[in-house]
Structure 1
Amino acid sequence: MASPRTVVRQESYAGHRGITFSDHRPVSADFLLEVPLVDNVQFNAAVKTCYHKVGDMEESEQPPKVKLDQTLLDFGVVSYVRIAPLTALQRPCAYRFVPLESDGCIHPEWLKIEPMTGLLLPGEGSNISLTICIDKQSAPPLNMRHARLDCTLIMHTLFGKDHFITVHGDYQPTCFATTLSDLVRLPGPVRELNKADQLLPQTQAANAPREIMRLINWLMTHATDTRDLFLTAADEELSLDTGSEFPFKPGTDGQYDRTIKIAFGETMVRFLDSLVEPVVPSQLHSKCLQVVDRDEAFEVLNEFPSESVNVWISFTAFLHFVCQQSDDKTEETSPTPPSKAHILASIFAPSLMRDDPSVYPPASPVGKQKFVLFFIS
């Protein structure tokens, strides 16, 4: 972890999806660490000086004061902002953020504050960064409506008064981090949904989410010949939330650039991994792992929810076609290199059959891959 006096800088980052013997996605990175040399004599002298400045805080009759340049923050369309000037006036000041209610949270799940506590010497300034972070945990309750992100923070100063900071932001719903059952009931793009009661009734639901089918159809048409599809991290980002046509155009030869194909593959991986509930319901995992042949595997599909079975059949059929197109001439880094089917099964089994964290022990990663292989190999 970096600190004000220690610099940690990431020099590189890479994924290794070709490694298939782990149920996680292996990554590697290089870091540059700069650590200051400390003179013990000067350090002890500085500590004594600081102690003399703050030692009489409790006995002082004059309460500490701080100045905040901003107490109203509007993030607009979910971005990043800093409260730059936080200045102690005349006396030392210790501060911390506290909840509005004694048994409440200090801040919403979608907001991060850094640092949460601090000590300022007279006239000293500090930066407090507030970051809106929408992830798989905080996004689901926000996605089914256009939500206004609002909260009030309390910064409490020791022996001084409290300061109130109001935070606003407009959340843009996304099809990521949503349930399949909600996605198939969307009347249109998720950005056009104003509230959850606009979802279609179950009798009018689509067979499968249009977002997944758009990705599968594009990949089936344009990317099945891409050797490292799903194996390489993408530089491009795709938006599936507005329903607009994809902005990419083929070259003069009618082919799309390889980086675009990789981007579509990466989006599919992230989309499946972001689903609130996996494609295969967790209560069926043990049954899936008990099948011994392809016929039994297909029988288990009868117990899938309708939206799950349609996604499963469409996606595994696409993976099966990709495996057929592969000549399986992988780089011979081992005497028996894994087949394309085994590589794809190791990539997607953890997402398609994601474990319920409340269930222990988790399902066997090898068993999950074996179940997927019944459909794609």
Structure 2
Amino acid sequence: MAGITAKQFGHLLTRYFFFAWVEQILVYWKWANRLQWRRACVKGFAVLLAVVVGECCWWLAAVGQITISNWPLPFFMIMFTLNLFFVGIFQFYGIFHVPDRIGLLHSNEPLSFTEVVDPQKNSFVLGDRGKEHGGYYWIDWLSPTQEQHYRVVGGLGYGRNEFKRLVLRNSFVSPTIAFMCDWTTGGGESFRDFIGTKGIIVVEAQHQIAKAIDFVYDIYQDRYSLRSKPDQYDNSIRILLFIDESLMELLEHPDAETPSSMTKIGAQLMELATNAKNHNIHIIAYAPPHRGPNSMRADLQAHFKDIIYSFTIRVEKPEGGFGVWRSQHPAFYSVAAVTHQHETYIMKIPTVAEAPKEWIESQFNSFDEAVHDMYSDALRHCSKGKYEAREKREIVVAGETIKATEWQKEAA
């Protein structure tokens, strides 16, 4: 013991003795989700029972009874065996061991969203960087240090198409309404998987897109007027506005020539991008595949966090001719680089295999009336014409004013 310091001795105690389980369990509890925790606990109790029963049976068969004088030896054997399974010794990983996923950054193997910690009310895990680089990377919707919206950049074949599923799956744990605007329906990013999902409004026609963005803009203005009372908008209903590549271009160039129904949309998107994040309104934009990271206007770049999947872009060289611009991070499935405050983080982004329609709808149905009222208002606002409930409309038939629904029943 002469060459071992107190700190080193404490580390040995923590690692190899039974009270190390507590430390392991606490660390695992913060890292794992409910599914992983349940699996580990079931496995842990099964191992505990098997070890205790197995060791006791072996001792009784090989040695004899366990007495007051000889109990320390079988007890030590049980503790040592349990440490092998629960804590792990040398290269053996224990039941509550937090795995290092650094290898996934160089692999096409997907990381399921069920294998990362559960989303919180206002935050969720965007990706796993591996232990060496800090583990989980979180998005916090209300963080004062992450006042960016999100722009998805990169090639179409590297997992960026699934990103919207992850955002929606992790956002509807608390009151949320999502608008998904797909102006270029013939190509690029598609939101069709979410058509008809309660809590999500997917619009494709120009006038409906205009009305959807106009509705979000009106909510932003209402919340902006309450700026002197931060709690009234920080805790308000979360609004997610997904925009496709064409709308992202319009956001950057609001003065560009557009159809008459879209005239004011560019300016509205610009203001939402620069001011709405503080009011729990978030833009998730998709960049065209030919656009690389940090390619936005300087006054807008500060408001967007780039989530960069692997890309290869043909660019024109300043000296003439063309060259190839490739992403610097590994070109593997769902591996992305995230830029924040002039730093870049490489991570494996969890995958949601299918659109979680049923789960989103069950969550949405559990929200309070304020969320449902806003959603109903949004549906009315985004409808083809000016919405008016049928039972409230009146028409004149044979000189008599009656409700439209009553006249239709008589005509039938």
TM-score under structure 2 length normalisation: 0.29
Larger radius of gyration: 2
TM-score under structure 1 length normalisation: 0.31
